[in-house]
A and B are shown apart, each in its own frame.
Chain A
Amino acid sequence: GENVEQHPSTLSVQEGDSAVIKCTYSDSASNYFPWYKQELGKRPQLIIDIRSNVGEKKDQRIAVTLNKTAKHFSLHITETQPEDSAVYFCAASRWSGGYQKVTFGTGTKLQVIP
């Protein structure tokens, strides 16, 4: 089955700096890659996603890149703010057995220091 590895597990940056979180996946059939942000005690919320026919997607300060050949994708947050502090999960998914099978990474705890 699919295996998603996420690094680093924790990340501390100064406010205003950039943060990068990297994920690798094993199943070449995965074709959809969402990223979720989870604040303490709250639900995971989708922040950005990318489909396998696209190499990069940007939404204001957040961008995601995908390298299908190397099977890795990354989340980039620029001009970080304290409210960006949260746990971020990457995921790789594919349609399998009649549903969208999603495999999540183990999360990155991002701390933005004011």
Chain B
Amino acid sequence: DAGITQSPRYKITETGRQVTLMCHQTWSHSYMFWYRQDLGHGLRLIYYSAAADITDKGEVPDGYVVSRSKTENFPLTLESATRSQTSVYFCASSEPVNNQPQHFGDGTRLSIL
């Protein structure tokens, strides 16, 4: 289901560079999330957003910045990339109702050299 799209799918950059990962959803879901997936850790929440202009930290927010000027977009920025931020990043969205699943994008594989 192409309701949530991420770009780029793959990115290689160097330490200290700024990089932005894009996420766009067409479902008009209020809630959007950014996770990172690392071997042995499963999926860990970086930031989430309840609506446009409302964002909050998750479990591992350090080194990341988010914004949400429009409901459908939720970009994630690494202001000064570090090797420890090499990971697969997933964006997700859900309806603003209790006990509803989150739906994931295809992910961005980010390598920081």
Q: Which residues of A contact B (CB under 8 A)?
A: 6, 31-32, 34, 36, 42-46, 49, 51, 89, 93, 95, 97-102, 104-107
Contacts and interface: CB of A to CB of B under 8 A. Distances in A.
Dominant secondary structure at the A interface: strand
A107 B42 contact: yes
Interface string B88-113: 00100010001111111111000000
Interface string B33-68: 000000011111100101000001000000000000
A104 B99 contact: no
B98 A95 contact: yes
A51 B98 CA distance: 10
A102 B40 contact: no
Contacts of B106: 42-43
Nearest to A33: B99
Given A46-B103, A100-B94, A106 B42 contact: yes
Contacts of A101: 45
A104 B105 CA distance: 17
Interface of B: 31, 40-45, 48, 50, 56, 90, 94, 98-107
Contacts of A102: 45, 102
B100 A100 contact: yes
Contact of A51 (B41, B99, B107): B99
Given A43-B107, A99-B56, A106-B40, 16 more contacts: A6-B42, A34-B101, A34-B102, A42-B107, A44-B43, A46-B103, A51-B99, A93-B99, A95-B98, A95-B99, A98-B56, A99-B48, A101-B45, A104-B42, A104-B44, A106-B42
B43 A32 contact: no
B50 A99 contact: yes
Contacts of A32: 98-99
B82 to A, nearest CB: 23
A95 B69 CA distance: 24
A97 B54 CA distance: 13
